[in-house]
Structure 1
């Protein structure tokens, strides 16, 4: 997928993206969105649970400038019709250029291609920019787990959002 008005394209990640994605993950890490500790320098990005095929990457001028993880929410057959956004990051240099929106739309397209009829995500309550983006793309708040996450000395709401992929 090529994003209009840019040279950026979105493609499925490959194993060779590991170092670039690990670097991007560290560079974009913030308690605004991350519940895991800051990744260690040199730590691999991919592992047995985080496979390249679960990621879409935005590439601009040969550089990886963003990624989104879209995967089944559970291994259960009962949720096979659902995909979940499990991470979205955009390099500082690429922000404000529609990269996050393009990645989100590509994730929804990928989910539809895989037969999903619904997509969900979890976002921290204090992450207003992400919540606004998701809402603008048709995601609705479907639940809130008040004070579910403890970050930086404060309790933060875990906001559950979702939408149909049929529309």
Structure 2
């Protein structure tokens, strides 16, 4: 089930984020950098109280197994675009969870008047890039050596999708 996040999800989201950040090296956050429950509640409240933000979770057997966020700006020159982030528990990779989250988020983003969605993805994250390309995202640029992980630098690929064409 895909649904809007709730304040009561805070504790479960902290656990989810710690788990996914330890399962995958493709996230920018390390497990020990995940916010605590109080900060998570603040973040959820920020998303719920701002029409320029979207925060959805994927739930299976009452457990959060995926999440997607879209954050827009109130600055007039850039309020047409939103920055997207998505993560899914490794156990559920390849089962359509990411696609379901993406589909619902893009639908809501369009309803809210967003024109463009942008994201950044590590250049070696082929699975995620395939998902984004499936939804019409295109490579717009590369931030060279933007991430340092496992004693090496990795590029961040900037991808974007114009919602008007979809």
Give the TM-score band, short-chain normalised: 0.7 to 0.9
Partner of 2:76: 77
Q: How does 1:41-80 map to 2 (within 5 A)?
A: 43-44=36-37, 46=40, 48=42, 51-53=46-48, 54-72=54-72, 74-80=73-79
Of 19, 30, 35, 2:11 maps to: 19
Partner residue, 1:127: 125
Count of aligned pairs between the two proteins: 157
Given the two structures, how large is their TM-score scaled by the length of structure 2?
0.85
Gaps of 5+ in 1: 1-8
SS of residue matched to 1:71? strand
| CA distance in 2 between partners of 1:122 and 1:25 (Å) | 18
RMSD over equivalenced CA pairs, Å: 2.0
Q: 1:76 to 1:39 in 2, by over 3 A?
A: farther
CA distance in 2, matches of 1:108, 1:149: 27
Relative distance call for 1:48 and 1:75 in structure 2 (3 A) is: farther
Q: Which runs of 5+ in 2 are unaligned?
A: 49-53
Match of 1:150 among 148, 151, 166: 148
What TM-score does the superposition give when structure 1 sets the normalisation length? 0.84
Query: Are 1:12 and 1:52, in contact at CA under 8 Å, matched by a contact in 2?
Result: no
**Secondary structure at the residue paired with 2:32?**
coil
